[in-house]
A and B are shown apart, each in its own frame.
Chain A
Amino acid sequence: MKYSAFTVLREALSGHKGWQPAWRDAAPAPAYDVVIIGGGGHGLATAFYLAKYHKPGRIAVVEKSWLGSGSIGRNTTIIRSNYLLPGNVPFYELSLKLWEGLEQEVNYNAMVSQRGVFNIFHSDAQRDAYARRGNAMRLHGVDAQLLDRDELRRRIPYLDYDNARFPVQGALLQGRGGTVRHDAVAWGYARAADALGVDIIQNCEVTGIRQAGGRVTGVETTRGFIGAKKIGVAVAGASSLVAAMAGLRLPIESHALQAFVSEALKPLIDHVITFGAGHFYISQSDKGGLVFGGDIDGYNSYAARGNLPTIEDVCEGGMALMPMIGRARLVRHWGGIMDMTMDGSPIIDKTPVENLFLNAGWCYGGFKATPGSGFCFAHLIAQGAPHAAAAAYRLDRFAEGRLIDEKGVGAQPNLH
Chain B
Amino acid sequence: MRIACPHCGERGLEEFSYHGDATVKRPTDGGAAPTQAWTDYVYFRDNANGPHEELWYHAAGCHAWLVVERNVATHDILRVTQA
A contact residues vs B (CB 8 Å cutoff): 238, 240-241, 244, 249-254, 298-303, 307-309, 312, 342, 398-399, 401, 411-414
Chosen A-B contacts, 26 in total, with CB atoms closer than 8 Å, are: A238-B49, A249-B47, A250-B47, A251-B44, A253-B20, A253-B21, A253-B45, A254-B49, A254-B72, A299-B18, A301-B72, A301-B75, A302-B49, A302-B73, A303-B72, A303-B75, A307-B1, A309-B12, A309-B14, A342-B42, A399-B34, A399-B36, A399-B39, A411-B43, A412-B20, A414-B20
Size category, B interface:
20 to 34
Q: Are A240 and B48 in contact (CB under 8 A)?
A: yes
A352 to B74, CA, bound (A): 32
- Give A206 Cβ to nearest chain B Cβ, in Å: 14
Q: Does B13 contact A (CB under 8 A)?
A: yes
Of chain B, the residue at the smallest CB distance from A399 is B39
Majority secondary structure of chain B interface residues (helix, strand, loop or mixed):
mixed
Q: Does B10 contact A (CB under 8 A)?
A: no
Q: Are A240 and B47 in contact (CB under 8 A)?
A: yes
Of chain A, the residue at the smallest CB distance from B38 is A399
Of chain A, the residue at the smallest CB distance from B42 is A411
- Give A228 Cβ to nearest chain B Cβ, in Å: 24
Additional 10 contacts, C-beta under 8 A, given A300-B47, A398-B39: A250-B44, A250-B45, A253-B47, A298-B17, A302-B72, A302-B73, A312-B14, A342-B42, A398-B42, A398-B43
B73 CB contacts on chain A under 8 angstroms: 302-303
- From B34, B45, B52, contact of A249 by CB (8 A): B45
Q: Are A251 and B34 in contact (CB under 8 A)?
A: no
Q: Does B29 contact A (CB under 8 A)?
A: no
A253 to B21, CA, bound (A): 9
Q: Are A240 and B43 in contact (CB under 8 A)?
A: no
Q: Are B75 and A240 in contact (CB under 8 A)?
A: no
Query: Interface code B12-29, partner A: CB below 8 Å = 1, 0 otherwise?
Result: 111001101100000000
A412 to B42, CA, bound (A): 9
A308 CB contacts on chain B under 8 angstroms: 13
Given contact pairs A249-B45, A252-B45, A414 touches B18 in the complex (Cβ within 8 A): yes
Of chain A, the residue at the smallest CB distance from B47 is A240
A298 CB contacts on chain B under 8 angstroms: 17-18
Of chain A, the residue at the smallest CB distance from B35 is A399
Of chain B, the residue at the smallest CB distance from A249 is B44
